[in-house]
Amino acid sequence: MSTELFSLQGKVALVTGATHGLGMAMAMGLGKAGATLVINGHSSQEKVDAALKEHRDAGITAHGYLFNVTDEQQVADAVEKIETEVGPIDILVNNAGIIRRTPMLEMELAEWENVIRTDLTGVFIMTKPVVSSMIKRGGGKVINICSMMSELGRNSVGAYAAAKGGLKMLTRNMATEWAKHNVQVNGIGPGYFATSQTAPIRVDGNPMNEFIISRTPAGRWGDPEDLQGATVFLSSRASDFVTGQIVYVDGGILATIGRPANES
């Protein structure tokens, strides 16, 4: 099999929420596969610039834009600017998202709506203008970053689980509507990954650290680079007949009910 199937040379890839963590890692994977990167952030230009430096230091052609994926006008303006300044967007990775760990009986409506708007409605807002352009050009790739909470519930993350469960079905409906236009829409569901956000609990003796390792058949936290293969595959010609699928990169968590306590 030719590695050209997985090459992204000549493609423009936009990754939202890509200034750190898993978004940064996925963007780096796309850049290493040859794509011209466009990364998005919304909190500060400084964070966008710092991420751009990392990509450029790695020899990747990268551009950065500051906008909020929940603002329809900002998104429309940004997409037009990107396609004018960089080129038509061939690959869209909808990664921007937030989580609020609040029990539902204690959660204010405004907090609930903020999570739903960012994690679910924001994908709808972001994808519409990009796919409209893809359809005119004859095709493209969309990857929505789902979650194990697209399949499982967990205490205190009701809004996040509702949004990510909705995103799974939005992904399938986008795939259904746009397959005839040669636009493939898939999702990636990350498991538990070693990032700066999880660093405080990834220490020996922490009950959550021990739970994650024991619950994961692979016996470890994921490395952000573990997401790069799936991201490149779903962005490349190798996945031209794959659409409407959610690929869970979770070390096997969703494949099992868990290891018995006395199993090594």
Active site residue 65: no
What the block records as the tokens of 212 is 């994650």
* 3-class SS of residue 58: coil
Residue from 65, 160, 192, 248 carrying the catalytic annotation: 160
- The secondary structure of residue 109, as a DSSP letter, is H
In whole angstroms, give the CA distance from residue 68 to residue 98.
Answer: 12
| Cβ–Cβ < 8 Å for 253, 213 | no
Select from 80, 71, 115, 96 the least CA-distant residue to 17.
96
Q: Which amino acid is at 82?
A: I
The torsion of the CA quartet 28, 29, 30, 32, rounded to 10 degrees, works out to: 80
Tell me which residues are annotated as active site.
160
